[in-house]
Structure 1
C-alpha cells in the first residue's frame, strides 16, 4: 500500500466514523421519542474503499398499518366506554342509588304501607313524597343524558377542527417527503413528521394509507372515503348549542360523505369521532327512550277515569309545547316525557293539596271512589299497587323487553346499561392489549435500542482509533523520508 493510499484510507475512515457517530448520537438523543424512527448509516466497499452511501430509516410499513388499525380501534372503544361510564354516573355510580329503578322500588314499598294503613296521613304523605322522588329522578336523568349528548357534540366539533388542522399539516409533511424524494435528499425527518401526524389522525378517524410515486401518500377511511389525496379533503360539522330529547345531532362529513357512527358494545367504530357519534345518536337516545317509557307507563298507570274520560292522576306531564299532557295512548315513545313528569299538585300538601286523594281516586275530580269517605278504604290503593306490578307493553324502540312491570322495566334499563358497559369494558381491555402488542412490535423494529447504539459507538471508536494509527504510521514514514532527504 502506498502512502497516498494509506492517507486516503484514513480519510475515508474519518469521514465514515464521523457520519456514523453523528447518526448514532442522533438516535441516542431521540431514544425516548416514540415518533422517531431509528436511522443507520449504510457503508459499502468499493475500489475506492469503504464509504457511507446513504442514511437509511428503519421503516416498517406493514407494522405501521397494523399499529394504525389498533390505535383507531382502541381510541373508539375507550371513547365509547367513557361515554357509558358517564351514563352510569347519571344513575348514581356503582350502586345506582339515584336511578329511577331505586326510587320506584321505594315508591312501591311506600304504596304498600299506605294500602295497609289507608287512614294514616303519614303513610299517605310518604307515598306522595316517594312519587315525587321518582319524578325528580326521571327529570334529573333526562337533563344529564341530554348534557352528555351536548358534551359529545362539542367534543365532535373540537375533534373535527383538530382533524382539519392535522390534515393541513399532513400536506406540508407529505410535500416535504415528495420534495426530498425527487431531489434525492434525506427524507427521514419528513417521514417522521408525516408518520407522527398519521398516528394522531388515526386516533380521530380510522384511515388506510396508499403509497404513490415519489413518496406520496393518500389516506382513505375504512369505507373508502377520501381523506387526503394530494390535498386534504374538507371535514365539516355544525355543532348544536343545546340538546333536548327532540334534538337531532348534525352529521360529520368527510369530502361530502357522511361519517357513520359505531355500533355495538364492542364498537365497530374506528377512531373517536365515530364513537362520539354512537354515544350522541345511538346509546344516549336509546337510554333516554327507556326513561321516557318509564314515565309514560307511570302516567298511564296512575291515571283516573270516570268510564268515559281518562286524565293523568298522580303523575302529570307537559307536552313539547308546554301544555298539560293527556293520558298517553300511543304505543310509541313520547320524546321528553321523562323530563316533564311531575306529581300532581292536588296531592302535595305544601301546595294546598291532599295526599288522601290518592287513596280515594279523586285527584282529577272526575270521580271519587271512596263515596262513603271511609278511613279504611283501600280498594283504589290495592288496584294501583297491583297495576304497578302488572306486565305492560313498552315500545321496542327503547331496546329492551316489553312484557314486564314498570319496576322490572326500570331495573332492566339499569341492566341494559350495565351489560353494555361491562361488554365495552372487556372490549376496551382487548383493544388496549392489541394496541400494546402493536406498539411493542413496531417499536422493536423501528425504535432506538440504547444498548445497540452504545455498542455501535464502541465499534465506531475502534475504527477511529485504527484510522488514527494509520495516520500516525504514515506521518512517521513521511518524517523518516524527510530526515533521509534532509
Structure 2
C-alpha cells in the first residue's frame, strides 16, 4: 500500500467516524422526542477503480418496526372510539341522574309518589296539593333537560365531526407534501429521516381519527389505506366531505338527506363504528353518537315520557276528563297522540290547569282536571287513584323495553340501568384498548433510542477516530523523514 493510499483510507475513516458521531449525538438528543426514529449509519467499502480505498458512508437508516407500529396505530383508533363512547355515556348518566340521587328522574318520580301520599291524607291542604304540582313540574322539567342533553349530544357530535374531518383533511394534505419532499431528498441522495419523523407524527394523528395501514412505496414515499378498504392517500390525498347543520331535532336522520353523511372522493361511505371504511376510530364514534346512540336514548326517554303521560290521561281514573283531554302531564299543553311519540320527552309539560304558576287551580288535583267547580275538600278519591296509577305495574309498549309490567319508578330505574350498564361496558372496553395500546407502545419504544447503547457506540467511535488520526500522524512522520533524505 502506498503512503497516499494509507492517508486516503485514514481520511475516509475520519469522515465516517465524524458522521457516526453525529448520528449517535442525534439519537441521544432525541431520545425523548415523540415520533423520532433511531438512526443507524450504514457503512461500505469505498472503491476507487479496482482498488479498495477506505470506507464510505452508504446512508443513514431509520430503524422502525412497521408491524408493531401498524398494530399500535390500530389500537390508537380503538382507544379513540372507546373514549368517545365513554364520554357520551357519562353525559347521558349525568342527564338522567343516579337512581338513588335526589333530583334524578327516579328520585323525582319517588318525590311525586310521596307528595301524592301526603295529599291523599290531607286533601283539603293547599300546601300538600301544591307539593304535588311542584313535584310533577320538577319531574317534567328534569325529563325536558335530559332530552335537551341528548339533543345537545347529537349537536355536539355533528359539530365535532366537522372539526375532525377538517383535521383529517389537513393532516392528509401535509403528509402528501412531506411525501414529495422525502422523494426529492431520497432521489438526490440526502438523508430524509427528519421528514419521516414528521410524517410519522401526522400518520399517528390520522390513525386516531381513522385507523390506517401504511404501505411503503418507492423513494421513501407511503400510501395510506383504512382496514375497511378506503384509500386515504396514494399519489394525492383523498377528499373528505361533510356538512354540519346548525340545529338537530329528534326526527332528523341521515337517510332522507337531512343530516350529512361522509363522502370520500365524492362517494358516500358507511359510517358504522364496527364495520366499514372508517370503523374503529374517533370519527366513527362521533357518527355513532349522532346517528345511533343518541337517537336510541331519545327513543327510550320518549317511551318513559309516554308511560308517564298515559298513566294520568285516563278518564277511568278521572271521570271529569272528556275524550281528547290532556291529563296531569301533557304533550306541550295538548293531549298525547300515540302517533306523535317521537320527541315527546322534549315537549312534556305539566298541565297548566293544575299549575298555579301558570294561573291554574290546585283544587283540580283533588276534584278533577275537567271539573266545572271546586268540590268536597275532604275527598281524596282522585288523589288515591293517581297514586295507584303511578305505583301500578304497566307493560311498556315502546322504546325497546321488555314488555314486563313496571311501576313508573321501576321503569325509570330500568332506563338508568340500561345506560349505566352500557357505560360500564364501554369503560371496560376502553381499559382493554388502553392496556393494549400501552403494551404496543412499550414494544415500539424498545426499538427506539437506548442511551446506554448509544454511549457505548460513542466509545467505539472515539477509538476508531483516534486510530485513524494515529495513521495520519504516522503518515505525516513518514513524509517528514522522506523530506529530510
Please give the TM-score of this superposition, normalised by the length of structure 2.
0.89
**Distance (Å, rounded) in 1 between the aligned partners of 2:19 and 2:261:** 53
Whether the 8 Å CA contact 1:210–1:217 is kept in 2: the answer is yes
Change (3 A) 1:474 1:59: same
Whether the 8 Å CA contact 1:304–1:364 is kept in 2: the answer is no
Q: Deviations over 1:388-430 (max 9, x none)?
A: 122333345x343343223211111111111111111111111
Whether the 8 Å CA contact 2:100–2:106 is kept in 1: the answer is no
Q: Deviations over 1:233-263 (max 9, x none)?
A: 1111110112222233321222213241326
Counterpart of 2:329 in structure 1 is 315
Which secondary structure state, in structure 1, belongs to the residue aligned with residue 228 of structure 2? coil
Q: Deviations over 1:97-153 (max 9, x none)?
A: 443222111111111222233233222111111101101101111122211211111
Which secondary structure state, in structure 2, belongs to the residue aligned with residue 242 of structure 1? coil
**Distance (Å, rounded) in 2 between the aligned partners of 1:453 and 1:116:** 85
Counterpart of 1:338 in structure 2 is 345
User: Aligned-pair distance for 1:434?
Assistant: 0.8
Change (3 A) 1:94 1:35: farther
Matches within 5 A, 1:203-242: 203-242=208-247
**Distance (Å, rounded) in 2 between the aligned partners of 1:83 and 1:123:** 39
Whether the 8 Å CA contact 1:401–1:409 is kept in 2: the answer is no
User: Aligned-pair distance for 1:327?
Assistant: 3.1
1:291 aligns with 2:301: yes
**Distance (Å, rounded) in 1 between the aligned partners of 2:456 and 2:294:** 56
Q: Deviations over 1:207-242 (max 9, x none)?
A: 223334444433222221222222211111110112
Counterpart of 1:261 in structure 2 is 272
**Distance (Å, rounded) in 1 between the aligned partners of 2:55 and 2:305:** 83
**Distance (Å, rounded) in 2 between the aligned partners of 1:284 and 1:482:** 92
Structure 1: segments with no counterpart, 5+ residues: 319-323
Whether the 8 Å CA contact 1:236–1:254 is kept in 2: the answer is yes
Matches within 5 A, 1:176-215: 176-215=181-220
Q: Deviations over 1:283-330 (max 9, x none)?
A: 222112222112212221112425861421211122xxxxx4323334
Whether the 8 Å CA contact 1:117–1:123 is kept in 2: the answer is yes
Counterpart of 1:321 in structure 2 is none
Whether the 8 Å CA contact 1:263–1:278 is kept in 2: the answer is no
Change (3 A) 1:2 1:183: closer
Q: Deviations over 1:145-198 (max 9, x none)?
A: 211211111111101111111111111122233344445543423332322221
Whether the 8 Å CA contact 1:300–1:328 is kept in 2: the answer is no
1:54 aligns with 2:59: yes
Counterpart of 2:480 in structure 1 is 479
Which secondary structure state, in structure 1, belongs to the residue aligned with residue 338 of structure 2? coil
Matches within 5 A, 1:71-82: 71-82=76-87
Matches within 5 A, 1:403-442: 403=404, 404-442=406-444
Whether the 8 Å CA contact 1:76–1:271 is kept in 2: the answer is yes
1:138 aligns with 2:153: no
Change (3 A) 1:212 1:476: closer
**Distance (Å, rounded) in 2 between the aligned partners of 1:93 and 1:185:** 62
**Distance (Å, rounded) in 1 between the aligned partners of 2:150 and 2:262:** 21
**Distance (Å, rounded) in 2 between the aligned partners of 1:294 and 1:185:** 68
**Distance (Å, rounded) in 2 between the aligned partners of 1:399 and 1:209:** 42
**Distance (Å, rounded) in 2 between the aligned partners of 1:197 and 1:381:** 66
User: Aligned-pair distance for 1:202?
Assistant: 0.8
Which secondary structure state, in structure 1, belongs to the residue aligned with residue 37 of structure 2? coil
**Distance (Å, rounded) in 2 between the aligned partners of 1:215 and 1:471:** 38
Whether the 8 Å CA contact 1:400–1:416 is kept in 2: the answer is no
Which secondary structure state, in structure 1, belongs to the residue aligned with residue 215 of structure 2? strand
Whether the 8 Å CA contact 1:91–1:98 is kept in 2: the answer is no
Whether the 8 Å CA contact 1:91–1:99 is kept in 2: the answer is yes
- Which of 353, 356, 360 does residue 349 from structure 1 map onto? 356
1:327 aligns with 2:336: yes
Structure 2: segments with no counterpart, 5+ residues: 47-51, 254-258
Which secondary structure state, in structure 2, belongs to the residue aligned with residue 385 of structure 1? helix
User: Aligned-pair distance for 1:94?
Assistant: 9.3
Q: Deviations over 1:436-458 (max 9, x none)?
A: 1111111211x222222222122
Counterpart of 1:385 in structure 2 is 387
